[in-house]
Amino acid sequence: MGGSKRSRSVEIEPTGPPQLATGLGAAGNAQLYLDGVLVAQAHFDTTVPIVFRIEGLSCGYDFGEAASCTRWCGISPAS
């Protein structure tokens, strides 16, 4: 964000109950704010219920195999 201090926030408002018996979370509306101004919004028919696995909760780190465009897309890093 250009090194400046800016605020970002996401609000999620459930619009229905979760369907945990079938593995689905609640439907809902999401709003993305940048510096307090609404910049995007979306409706989700379902969400994914939060699941904690043995490695716990992590943000920005995947415990599985790394994604690779070379492997999955056939694109070399030099292209």
How confident is the model over 18-75, as pLDDT tens digits?
Answer: 988 888 889 999 999 999 999 999 999 988 876 655 555 555 555 566 555 555 555 5
pLDDT at 14: 93
In a domain, 1, yes or no: no
> Which long-range contacts link 66-70 to residues 24+ away (Cβ below 8 Å)?
none
pTM of the model: 0.53
pLDDT at 22: 87
In a domain, 40, yes or no: yes
CA distances from 26 to 16, 23, 57, 59 (A): 6, 10, 20, 22
Contact at 8 Å (CB) between 22 and 48? Answer: no
Give the structural domain span for 61. 8-72
pLDDT at 34: 92
pLDDT at 48: 81
Work out how many domains the chain is built from and give that number: 1
In a domain, 43, yes or no: yes
- Read off φ and ψ for residue 5, nearest 5 degrees: -85, 115
pLDDT at 71: 55
